[in-house]
Chains A and B, each alone.
Chain A
């Protein structure tokens, strides 16, 4: 099996996997990260999202071989070295923006990506940015409030 050198959450990881393995499986199965979740494997729901070079992308169909030198940040990697939460993570806790929380990874990642681009999004822009992300519990309105709160706190 080929080896790949990946940049994950600020450190370099060498993984030994088949080239067609989607990034999600490498992150969860090999690197034992819990943030990105398997939801569909079809790039339809957003639960597997990670930041690749600062932009939210789904990781469930993206082959590991295609990553090159890209920098990957997962939900875990948003917490700083002192254990302090990212403003978006903090806002999700403050707004209690989850029920089962299974979608939360993708929501937080998509929100961080949005705020990187647009620090002051309006409601329509927030909704647009989260269009891929499904939540079956109906926590959407709290998620929107959390993103507004995070934008305000940045």
Chain B
């Protein structure tokens, strides 16, 4: 059971104060062999962005009463294993055992404000901030211990949570060194960090601690939190995006459904609070049947969605322009292709959930949001409350893969908790609402044009990309939360959010002398926000499909063709690796193999993917037999953690590629559940193989998204090699293969 944080844990920590003297524990230390202390080298580079926001050691690290260490990170656990990665990095720098480190993830007022847990940024930002804060702390602990023990630093051993003199006469644990204080010191370069060759944990496949908790069904997810007297609630969502409540007849509710405590109606927002959870389900059903809404959706015909998108797009903006692509393409033999991708769902297996409680002064919110501080700003703006009066605690939910509905559920719970103070109100979304109201990944179009020179190299290239925003994440604008649009004085979305994610990777990573990239932004009909890998899945699907087509025109092997356009040795290395991985793979009749490559964001991690598929000639049915990936994320923190992310990314992207699209008609969304929005099931799962190229001396990049973009194109290329048909319009379905 969680306790209400009346005094914050941090204050408590700061108040601990006790004096102790380091008596040697002779019995224990005599038999122990002194560990060899790993060498250190000075880090002089640029500190991560998160450290610039919170630059004191004690913002990231505090020593507990028993001498163990508590790490604070503003990132949240999404199933990517960030808790373990942070624990490894801290234990490494402080020469601790893994269980001497506790990690406290995002909570307002307690952990640093690290914005959103997104964009494969948790390792480069949070884990690296922890590394530098921990290394700084180690240095300070040594200095302080040296004074206390009246022994020069060179005669001290720092290990296992203790600093001891080399002659073993005296030892102090961290709490004894600090005597209840914390290290309030700015983290600045140079920082003495451990040399990579001395690592015990970083780069290794360290098992996550939370998987055992999962199999034991311990309280772990937001859905599992229970508070004394907690009440349940559901929100009746409007009929469509623009619907307004016309009439609600709740007169029969209490006689039809037992346990109803309160119905909260604020303009077109309707919530119902009940004693038990299933009563809330029934109450929502009753209210739905007894409400009238104005029709509020005017979607275009899905069959013409791409025509519609083109018709509403802004004039193009040139994102990149090198050489003179237009002149080179004009009059020369030009190859062209157009690729399209539908709206896609996040499809979390656990629909959104949130709990809130207003204690008369502070509004406490438990949420699986990816960004608790930005969400707090949005909720404060929606409720016109002082931000400081809202306390948000991040609790894991099911994997969400971008900005999904967690923040909206938190807003629901916040509204209901204010309307019914003193009780914890738990809001659970239904599967249907999760499907209907998800901010989807935008539909996109990519038009490509290129010409080749006499040696079969690409001479000119043009990308035209059509995209909606790829992040409408909560921020100061309350309209980023669904409820704001249905309360009294509804707020309309002011800006279009993050457009840059839409043309992410639209400029090929290849050396091409003349290149132009133009982005056509549109404000599309469906609610959108960030979905894992943002625009890159579409841009790379297009570019890497097109690269195979160009290779064929040039009469080159697809991988050789790519290599001929790459200079970056890390890119070349992943391509060599992928070739080696599937070199001995034998293709039967109807089978084909396809490849694709990308460097995520053109600045982060590298991955090459290969797909082996079988296409049934008569029906056009595709079976993905195997997927391989060769990945370079720079320095690896947790080998098994990153491998897991790469495997999962390929499988999710394969499901997108063959099966997924949000469907709608003029009246609204029609993808209402897993039957109308099918995703991969077990019989569709291919074998997966991952090879990681470790580069311990290079910066650690996140790996959550890197395998997704090339997976789509690798499958499309494999389908082409298997049956000679190329599909340009995602998803690659049986019907499209047949009619291609």
Interface residues of A (CB under 8 A from B): 1, 17-18, 21-22, 25, 28-30, 32-35, 37-42, 44-45, 47, 74-76, 79, 85, 89-90, 92-93, 96-105, 108, 126-128, 130-131, 133-142, 144
Contacts and interface: CB of A to CB of B under 8 A. Distances in A.
A20 to B, nearest CB: 8
Given A102-B398, A137-B79, A28 B681 contact: no
A137 B652 contact: yes
A141 B349 contact: no
Contacts of A22: 278
B277 A99 contact: no
Contacts of A90: 215
Nearest to B350: A102
A141 B680 CA distance: 13
A108 B348 CA distance: 19
A154 B347 CA distance: 35
B668 to A, nearest CB: 19
Nearest to A41: B431
Given A39-B350, A39-B431, A138-B650, A101 B214 contact: yes
B215 A85 contact: yes
A108 B683 CA distance: 17
Given A25-B276, A29-B277, A136-B348, A89 B683 contact: no
A44 B398 CA distance: 16
Classify the interface of chain B: helix, strand, loop or mixed: loop
B159 interface: no
Interface in B603-657: 640, 644-645, 647-652, 655
5 closest Cβ pairs, A-B complex: A100-B79, A138-B651, A138-B648, A102-B398, A100-B399
A11 to B, nearest CB: 16
B211 A40 contact: no
Contacts of A37: 221, 223, 349-350, 398
Given A45-B349, A45-B674, A136-B349, A89 B650 contact: no
A139 B217 CA distance: 18
Contacts of A126: 682
B494 interface: no
23 contacts: A29-B276, A34-B221, A39-B350, A40-B674, A41-B281, A44-B673, A47-B349, A75-B216, A76-B216, A93-B212, A96-B640, A97-B211, A98-B214, A99-B79, A100-B78, A100-B398, A102-B349, A127-B682, A133-B681, A136-B348, A137-B652, A138-B649, A139-B648
B389 interface: no
Interface in B78-131: 78-81
A79 B218 CA distance: 12
Interface residues of B, number: 60
Contact of A137 (B276, B399, B682): B399
Given A85-B215, A139-B648, A39 B207 contact: no
Contact of A141 (B214, B276, B685): B685
Interface centre among A76, A99, A133, by most chain B C-beta atoms within 10 angstroms, is A99
Contacts of A144: 682, 685
B647 A101 contact: no
A3 B81 CA distance: 43
Nearest to B81: A99
B217 A76 contact: yes
Contacts of A79: 216
B312 to A, nearest CB: 31
Nearest to A74: B217
Contacts of B351: 38-40
B36 interface: no
B415 to A, nearest CB: 22
A34 B431 contact: no
Given A29-B278, A136-B652, A103 B349 contact: yes
Given A101-B210, A141-B685, A38 B428 contact: yes
